[in-house]
Amino acid sequence: MSSGTGLTGILSRIWKKIVDHFEDYEIKRETLLNRISFLLILAIGITVRLLAVMRGYDTLIKAFDPYVQLVSTEYINQNGFIEFVHWFKSDSWYPYGFYTGKLLYWGVPTSAIVIHGFLNLLSINVSIKIVAFYSPVFYGALTIIAAYFLGKEAVSTRTGLFTAFFMAISPAFVSRSTAGFFDNESIGILFTVLTLFFFIRAIKRGGTLSAFGAGISLGLLIASWGAYRYVLDLLPLAVFFLVITRKLTYKLIKAYTITIVTALSIGFLLPRVIANQFFNIDVMIPVLMIGFLIIVGIIQNLSQSLSEKTFKQVLIVGALTIFVLLIILVTVFLSLGIFTNIATKFWAVILPGGRDAIPIIASVSEHQPMTWAELFMNLHIMTFLIPLGLYYCLKKPTDINILIVVWGITTIYFSGSMVRLALLLAPAAALISAIAIDKLLYTYSLSAHGKIALTKRKIRLTKSIGRDEAIIAYVVIFGLLIAFSVHSLNMADQFSRSEMAPVLFYPKPGFPMGDWQESLEWIRNQAQLDGIVKNSPTVVLSWWDYGYWITNYGNATSLVDNATTNSSQIGTVGTMLMWDFIESVKLMYKYNVKYVLVNSQAGIPGLGSDLGKAIWCIRIAESTVSRYGITEEAYYGLDEERRYYQYKVPFFSSVLYRLCAYDRETGFAWDSNTPGTPTSNEPGLLRLASSYPVYDLKGDDGVTYFREVFRSYGLADSLETARKFPLVRIYEVIYPENIAQLSTELNSLYPLSSSSE
């Protein structure tokens, strides 16, 4: 028996097949380095988002808006999704309430419920709050992975790695995906990147599944974040440029149509989106683009089947007919009120020049135009790489590169218009910067490895670019990336701090202040009591910045919150704060206000204090409830600079100023057992400018309508670490006996003009 047919031969053939099989899966050195690099980038991205945990900070939800997301998630977990859809939250926007399930985007709370349920299946029992705290890190990690595949699909594997690297530590993105930032943006950017990845893949490969993937991703984005309007209108804009550059293909028409139809079918299941109406301009643009593509496709086919003369005649007649029909259609729809305009907030982004006329938008610091300093802070070296990346894309204007250019230029414009939209710029900047580095180093890479083809042009190139020059180029780029990493790490450390427990450097460096926790815990205890009348809620008056905290953390009732859904009510609250005592308490009584909370910051205008926000209380009141007589001219000098010393007498007589600046000869001392409780006769030590008056509420310069019941001192653990001045102060309103009569008289003087008040 020969060895080829015996047992040894059989075993040899089997072994050879096994070896040959695994040789097909041999991992090349480049592939191995690529995978190791990607895993390292992913690990770095996760680590920088967990700095709050590594620093030992409390697992607090960050910022203001995420608290309504947290409470909504808890409500779904306890009562079910159907109950959430119909949930009427009576402790917000008192006395009107707020339909949370119908006015909130569902993406963040429902995704957290899914994560929580999956962990329970694995017998990992964690609270909803812990899931909410860590879920932005999970979304951030998925976005890094999606960014890698986006760069890989758009250009190359190298571009994918650099795109993932920039997304991993980009300050603009880390700020919204760090642990604790449980809000729409953290998941919205994930769906944005996925939409563009699948759309590019569908254009390149013509795959139906990829087109559906883009549509599903865009639909989930619509259900998760109000900025869906940008991506929804970016696609038709990019497609329009592809049409006019003669790059219209069947793959493009197929990908675009499936994407838009799928996305709108999913998105319009959401009550919040339905409320925006289907015939809104920002929805009709992508829909009408489908018809435009069909018409262009028909024209292309006719140009091939008709004679030149006949084609020109058909084209002219068809164009005129379509134009007339479009004019008639738009005119009829506008006259019937079917077409609705783009929301004011989004017009303010497109046309920032008119933003000052909308105080409710201009009052938010994140809505201001971006400065060069803020641009560099958010992008760092990407600021200089973006122009180079755009140049490389324009140099080779493929359909994918044109899409990237349109994406990049529009996000640059919108982020420059409104600083918070640097987040939208982050993934575009990452991809374009990655293209710049990839293309920049490509020639040096070939030169260093001796792989440049010896054409006449490239022979001249190799004489000027040798191995030494290539090494220098690599070192320079590596140094820039290290500088970017250091900058991003410093920024991530700042983002890890919660607004509810800001890390200050007094009385000791890096000491988290618990003023807001302390204050909201006090409110929570008082919320169990009746309001100003029996069986009424405990209503807390504050500026709208703190509404979500008061209702969702303090369990009390607020007049306004961060949703800013009723600008007239916000103006009414501004009036209460800026009127003098005697008039203001009449209006407070109408709204059953029991407590007034002010963020005094020791009486210092600026530093985030309510005194620094007084100008917006006045402007919003003036623009929305002008009948109350609040005008900017009455409170401020007319000098354009409007420095603090230009305040007029009515400002110093306002409720807001006197509650922030209130002091007395015998103030409150800090009590180690019950922080914030008045115990002894220590001066309040307010840090007001010497030119500003300090008031005693019980003197000739005040009235007896307010009694200070709480001052925060930051949950200090000893008298040595306690501050000697309060940040948050709470007052109880002491109404006069005839307040009902006074309030009635106020109503006759200032009749209500709308049901919103």
Rounded to an integer, the average pLDDT of 353-379 is 81
Q: Label residue 556 by pLDDT band (50, 70, 90).
A: very high
Residues forming a β-bridge with 707 = 732
How many C-beta atoms surround the C-beta of residue 665 within 10 A?
Answer: 8
pLDDT band at 243 (very low <50, low <70, confident <90, very high): confident
Neighbours of 30 (CB within 10 A): 10
What is the average per-residue pLDDT within 184-189?
94
Q: Which residue has the higher pLDDT, 667 or 343?
A: 343
Question: Percent of the chain, pLDDT > 90?
Answer: 42
**Poorest-pLDDT segment among 10-19, 35-44, 185-194, 508-517:** 10-19
Q: What is the pLDDT of residue 464?
A: 57
- Written as one letter, the residue type at 458 is K
Separation CA 189–CA 293 (nearest Å): 28
Note the pLDDT tens digit of each residue in 632-670. Answer: 888 887 655 544 446 777 888 889 988 887 765 334 333
Tell me the mean pLDDT in the region 405-419: 92
Higher pLDDT, residue 635 or 467: 635
Average pLDDT in the 171-191 region?
94
Residue 756: pLDDT band (50, 70, 90) is: very low
**Cα angle for residues 285, 275, 333 (degrees, 5° grid):** 50
Read off the pLDDT of residues 533-552 as tens digits, 9 standing for 90 and up: 888 899 999 999 999 999 99
> Where are the strands (E) in 353-413, listed by range?
none
In this predicted structure, the answer to whether residue 245 has a pLDDT above a threshold of 60 is yes
pLDDT one-digit tens code per residue, 258-268: 999 999 999 98
Query: Using N-to-C axis directions, what is the helix angle for 29-49 and 467-495, rounded to 10°?
Result: 30
pLDDT of residue 515: 83
Q: For residue 662, what is the DSSP state?
A: B
Three-state SS sequence of 293-327:
HHHHHHHHHHHHHCCHHHHHHHHHHHHHHHHHHHH
Q: Where are the alpha helices (DSSP H) in 336-380?
A: 344-350, 359-362, 372-379
Tell me the C-alpha distance between 236 and 258, whole Å. 13
Phi, psi angles (nearest 5°) of residue 109: -65, -40
State the DSSP code for 626: G
Segments in 537-637 forming alpha helices (H): 547-552, 567-578, 581-590, 614-624, 632-635
Is residue 402 predicted with pLDDT exceeding 90? yes
280 DSSP assignment: B
Q: Is the pLDDT of residue 304 over 80?
A: no
Q: What is the pTM of this model?
A: 0.86
Q: Which fold has domain 513-749?
A: Rossmann fold (3.40.50)
Assigned token pair, 508: 């000791």
Contact between 568 and 623 under an 8 Å Cβ cutoff? The reply is: no
368: DSSP letter: S
Radius of gyration of the chain (CA): 31
pLDDT score, position 10? 66
Mean confidence (pLDDT) of the chain: 82
Q: How far is 151 from 431, CA to CA, in rounded Å?
A: 6
pLDDT band for 339, please (50, 70, 90 cuts): low
Tell me the CA end-to-end span of the chain in Å, nearest whole number. 102
- CA dihedral sign of residues 574, 577, 582, 588: positive
Q: Is the pLDDT of residue 676 over 60?
A: no
| pLDDT for the residue numbered 541 | 96
pLDDT of residue 23: 55
Q: What is the helix (H) or strand (E) element at residue 40, kind and residue range?
A: helix 29-49
